[in-house]
């Protein structure tokens, strides 16, 4: 495999040369992750890899482990089709969310992504509040969002739905498509460029697997028929995986997310709600919370119809959620730092014994 076709750049090559510690080390990119085993694309083909013992010992959080899209340093065993991952190269972008449930941990969805296709279905009610969450996390990741409205052939008022989405996604491209009629697919070509990586994100049943099949030209992803009772597709993708498209672009398909919780996205909040952030600069008080303070420019904009009141409600809710996560992660960071120094002291004692 020619690594240039899967996104290798001069910077990645330079990072590899600077960080590798063994002459026989090779460069690879994580194509699939499953239970701490990794399928890695290399110039020698696909290798099945796991992290080294040293790597595992020095890792203190999920962020320290490889994820789909990562460029990694490998000690290969070519004849066996296997290898050992000894390091991760610096990431250009990282899409993360909080793990589902009560545990405050990071789940990395994909890394080194250029563009995120946020896929939503037009054959059911659009959830604009959920879309705001996806946009927030995408801006925070360092990738660029593009909103894909699938199943346009099942919607009788496409232009109206597009306008609703554009109202909460300032400056973000919104592209309605139909896998049945091929409508809108030509507008995706501007992002599906050789060597570029695109991640597909969206809820279960919105048509991500069908979109992947159409772009790939074959039915690689299993697609089940739409349930007749509610017009929703069945969830078919069970893991994150990189797929090389015929034109040389890389697609990362992901399982549908039933629960999308934020993860350290303060900068993304400003991008997603840019109109509120901009108008709030005109508030009389710098710490205005846009409730009932006198001279609140945001409340005035709502009265004048310039801002939807639901946008402010969503903005305040997400702010509270991010503040909660920040408090929880502070405690987690303290615990990880304590674990780190405990391991360091343990290593020092072992050296003295020897």
Specify the CATH number for the domain of residue 33.
2.40.50.140
Domain end, chosen from 65, 88, 111, is at 88
pLDDT at residue number 232? 46
Is residue 207 pLDDT above 60, yes or no?
yes
Is residue 248 within 8 A of residue 194, CB to CB? The reply is yes
- The answer on 144 and 62 residing in a single domain is no
Query: How far is 31 from 95, CA to CA, in rounded Å?
Result: 16
**Least confident stretch, 154-158, 188-192, 312-316:** 312-316
Measured torsion, CA atoms of residues 128, 131, 136, 140, in degrees rounded to the nearest 10 = -170
Domain end, chosen from 253, 288, 319, is at 253
More confident residue, 202 or 9: 9
Q: What are phi and psi for residue 11, nearest 5 degrees? A: -65, -45
- The answer on 194 and 235 residing in a single domain is yes
Does residue 242 form part of some domain?
yes
- The answer on 231 and 246 residing in a single domain is yes
Using 50, 70 and 90 to split pLDDT, how confident is the model at 237? very low
The CATH code of the domain that includes 138 is 3.40.50.300
Please give the structure tokens belonging to residue 267: 């900068």
More confident residue, 250 or 239: 250
- Residue 352's CB: how many other CB atoms inside 10 A? 7
- The answer on 102 and 56 residing in a single domain is no
Does residue 191 form part of some domain?
yes
Using 50, 70 and 90 to split pLDDT, how confident is the model at 24? very high
- The answer on 16 and 81 residing in a single domain is yes
Does residue 287 form part of some domain?
yes
Domain end, chosen from 53, 70, 88, is at 88
User: pTM for the complete prediction?
Assistant: 0.72
Return the closest-CA partner of residue 209 out of 240, 173, 165.
Answer: 240
Its domain, for residue 229, covers: 94-253
Number of domains in the chain: 3
What Å distances lie between residue 319 and 1, 48, 239, 313, 324, CA to CA? Answer: 45, 41, 30, 10, 9
Does residue 280 form part of some domain?
yes
Does residue 151 form part of some domain?
yes
pLDDT at residue number 230? 45
- The answer on 111 and 80 residing in a single domain is no
Does residue 28 form part of some domain?
yes
């Amino acid at each position: 495999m020619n690594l240039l076709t899967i996104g290798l750049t001069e910077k990645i090559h330079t990072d590899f040369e600077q960080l590798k510690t063994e002459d026989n080390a090779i460069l690879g990119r994580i194509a699939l992750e499953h239970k701490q085993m990794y399928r890695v694309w290399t110039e020698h083909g696909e290798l099945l890899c796991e992290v080294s013992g040293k790597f595992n010992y020095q890792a203190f959080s999920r962020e320290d482990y490889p994820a789909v899209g990562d460029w990694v340093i490998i000690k290969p065993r070519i004849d066996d089709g296997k290898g050992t991952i000894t390091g991760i190269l610096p990431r250009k972008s990282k899409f993360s969310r909080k793990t589902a449930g009560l545990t405050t941990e990071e789940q990395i969805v994909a890394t080194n992504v250029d563009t995120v296709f946020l896929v939503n279905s037009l054959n059911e009610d659009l959830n604009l509040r959920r879309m705001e969450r996806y946009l927030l996390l995408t801006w925070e990741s360092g990738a660029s969002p593009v909103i894909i409205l699938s199943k346009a052939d099942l919607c009788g008022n496409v232009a109206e739905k597009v306008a609703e989405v554009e109202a909460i996604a300032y400056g973000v491209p919104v592209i309605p498509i139909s896998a049945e009629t091929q409508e809108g697919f030509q507008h995706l070509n501007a992002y599906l460029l050789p060597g570029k990586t695109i991640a597909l994100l969206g809820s279960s049943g919105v048509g991500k697997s069908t979109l992947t099949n159409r772009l790939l030209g074959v039915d690689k992803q299993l697609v089940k028929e739409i349930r007749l009772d509610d017009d929703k597709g069945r969830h078919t993708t069970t893991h994150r995986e990189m797929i090389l498209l015929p034109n040389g672009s890389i697609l990362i398909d992901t399982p549908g997310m039933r629960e999308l919780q934020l993860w350290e996205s303060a900068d993304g909040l400003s991008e997603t709600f840019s109109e509120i952030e901009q108008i709030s600069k005109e508030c009389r008080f710098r710490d205005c919370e846009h409730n009932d303070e006198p001279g609140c420019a945001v409340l005035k904009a709502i009265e004048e119809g310039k801002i939807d009141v639901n946008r402010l409600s969503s903005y305040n809710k997400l702010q509270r959620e991010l503040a909660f996560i920040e408090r929880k992660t502070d405690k987690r960071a303290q615990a990880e730092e304590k674990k780190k120094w405990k391991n360091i002291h343990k290593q020092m004692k072992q050296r003295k014994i020897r």
